[in-house]
Amino acid sequence: MFPEWFEGPLGVSIVGRAIEDGILEVELIDLRPHGLGRHKQLDDAPFGGGPGMVMRIEPLAEVLEPLAETHRVLFTPSGDPMTQSTLDRWSSLPEITFVCGRYEGIDQRVIDHFIDEETSLGDYVLAGGEVAAAAAIEGIARLLPGVVGNPDSTEFESFRDGLLEEPVYTRPAEFRGWKVPEILLSGDHARIEAWRAEQRRRRTEERRPDLLDGLQSET
């Protein structure tokens, strides 16, 4: 309902460059022209009563039916959480359609008949799906070949091996007496790698033990 919302997120940094370089193509579809009647109505009161308005099926059917060849994702708090593996999967698809809801949500029949996957950005309620779509587009863009300068930077980072990233440091080696861990200055690459692996594991244990549960159930 608000294609203009995307002007910023699609215009700058990695996503902006990916689009400019022709690596990523984003088409914004305005739902309003598909609305009903003179006022191009998109919503209506919920059957059975209750607060707020619900997005009607007709405009969404008109837009989503011809896009059946694409993978149609609806952003909703009721969906599966969006994780790095979701983005990995999506980044290999030739075409994907993101549906951004507004109001109290979308008529369930849209979901039953025109949506292939329901995805949530997290356990909180936003006003619309645009923030989730922008997050997905940025997460996908940086996985596309040629977008991030050094492909290693998307290979060695949080969630890649199921763990959080280790702490990272740069110059100066000391600031206000706060020193960079000695090992990182040692030049001993094998010991540095062992230290990093240990830090990844420790940080994940402390902050996100749920990720380790996932790793154990995989092995």
Which residue from 62, 54, 53 is spatially nearest to 35, judged by alpha carbons? Answer: 62
Out of 48, 125, 150, 216, point to the residue binding ligand SAM (CB under 6 A).
125
Select 104 or 161, whichever has its Cβ closest to ligand SAM: 104
Distances (CA, A) of 212 to 81, 164, 203: 17, 10, 11
Instruction: Please name the helix (run of DSSP H) or strand (run of DSSP E) that holds residue 80, with its range, or none.
Output: strand 71-81
Task: Tell me if 122 sits within 8 A of 81, measured CB to CB.
Answer: yes
Select 57 or 106, whichever has its Cβ closest to ligand SAM: 106
Q: Please give the size of the binding site for ligand SAM, defined by CB under 6 A.
A: 20
For the bound state, the minimum distance from the C-beta of residue 74 to ligand SAM, rounded and expressed in Å, comes to 7
Q: Which of residues 130-159 bind ligand SAM (CB under 6 A)?
A: 132
128 near ligand SAM (CB under 6 A): yes
Neighbours of 154 (CB within 10 A): 16
Distances (CA, A) of 134 to 77, 137, 191: 16, 5, 39
Out of 120, 147, 199, 204, point to the residue binding ligand SAM (CB under 6 A).
120
DSSP 39: T
- CA-CA distance, 44 to 55, in Å (whole number)? 7
77 near ligand SAM (CB under 6 A): yes
Out of 47, 124, 175, 178, point to the residue binding ligand SAM (CB under 6 A).
124
Select 106 or 141, whichever has its Cβ closest to ligand SAM: 106
117 near ligand SAM (CB under 6 A): no
Select 113 or 179, whichever has its Cβ closest to ligand SAM: 113
Out of 104, 117, 138, 165, point to the residue binding ligand SAM (CB under 6 A).
104
Select 124 or 175, whichever has its Cβ closest to ligand SAM: 124
105 near ligand SAM (CB under 6 A): yes
Which residue's CB atom is positioned nearest to ligand SAM? Answer: 101
Distances (CA, A) of 100 to 59, 72, 80, 175: 13, 11, 15, 46
First CA to last CA distance, the chain:
44
Query: What's the one-letter identity of residue 123?
Result: D
User: Which residues form the interface with ligand SAM (CB under 6 A)?
Assistant: 75-78, 100-102, 104-106, 120-122, 124-129, 132
